A and B are shown apart, each in its own frame.
Chain A
Amino acid sequence: GVTKHARHKKILKAAKGYQASSGRNYKWAKEALMHAWSHAYRHRRQRKGDFRRLWIIRIGAACRQHDTNYSQFMHGLTAAGIEIDRKMLADMAVRDPAAFERLVALAKTD
């Protein structure tokens, strides 16, 4: 029927690119999409933690090149009153290593 076709078409369009029956068959597409949507919901929340973990790894790697480690570095930053967030610190470690070196020096003082 017309309405059924319209409803199914919407689901199949959302399942474009899915492998095998999930991309062709309405029944399996609906199942695949339910999983996909619940994963997307959960991972939108996890993404915030995932990125923070990535930034911390990068900051740790960068400050180990300058004879500290991540925990000493962050402690030194808070002691120096520097409030730059981990996202920017990781970005600086990659794009502006000279400035990052200065931050490490600041964190090491006293």
Chain B
Amino acid sequence: MAHLAPMNNGCVRYICQLKRLTLQYCKNGGSSRGIREFLSETVAQFAKENPHLTVYVRQRPGRHPRIVAEFLSGNSRVVSVKNMSVEEVAGHISLLRTSSGIKTVKLAKPWHTDNPSIQGNWTPFLYK
């Protein structure tokens, strides 16, 4: 059985799960070069194209740049964009925009099934 989108988002109506983006950068740091370029070129248009998103731009002098994404479910995800190019930053932002708000969690097993036993589990009285 294929894994369905959470809450069947997109089956009838698609609701973007991203609520808020906070782009934190440093004005002078070398690792912030990509995100600075992104901020000067693309971010205004990106914010206009996505009116449901609030985009905050915050200066954090002396620290590496990052993007903090907050979702409708209340989860947040922090992506470090240190030393990334403009294309990589834009790629990460579009990845956040299209993601569901589920927390990235290490899977305990590589498989998942809702019905592990079709005919019923073994019981001590099965073959008595």
Task: Check B127–A94 contact: CB distance below 8 A.
Answer: no
Task: Check B119–A96 contact: CB distance below 8 A.
Answer: yes
| A49 interfacial by beta-carbon distance below 8 Å | no
Task: Check B116–A95 contact: CB distance below 8 A.
Answer: yes
A-side interface mostly: helix
A69: min CB distance to chain B, Å: 15
Specify which chain A residues have a CB less than 8 angstroms from the CB of B127 in the assembled complex: 65-66, 97
The chain B residue sitting closest to A100, CB to CB, is B122
Given contacts A65-B127, A66-B127, contact A94 B121 (CB under 8 A): yes
B91-128 interface mask toward A, CB cutoff 8 Å, 1 = contact, 0 = none?
Answer: 00000000000000000000000001111011000110
| A59 interfacial by beta-carbon distance below 8 Å | no
Interface size range on A against B: under 10
| A15 interfacial by beta-carbon distance below 8 Å | no
Task: Check A97–B118 contact: CB distance below 8 A.
Answer: no
Specify which chain B residues have a CB less than 8 angstroms from the CB of A65 in the assembled complex: 127
Specify which chain A residues have a CB less than 8 angstroms from the CB of B118 in the assembled complex: 96
The chain B residue sitting closest to A95, CB to CB, is B117
The chain A residue sitting closest to B123, CB to CB, is A97
Specify which chain A residues have a CB less than 8 angstroms from the CB of B122 in the assembled complex: 62, 93-95, 97
A54: min CB distance to chain B, Å: 15
What 8 pairs across the A-B complex have the smallest Cβ distances? A95-B117, A97-B122, A65-B127, A94-B122, A95-B116, A98-B119, A95-B121, A97-B126
* Given A95-B117, A96-B117, A97-B122, 12 more pairs with CB closer than 8 A: A62-B122, A65-B127, A66-B127, A93-B122, A94-B117, A95-B116, A95-B122, A96-B118, A96-B119, A97-B119, A97-B127, A98-B119
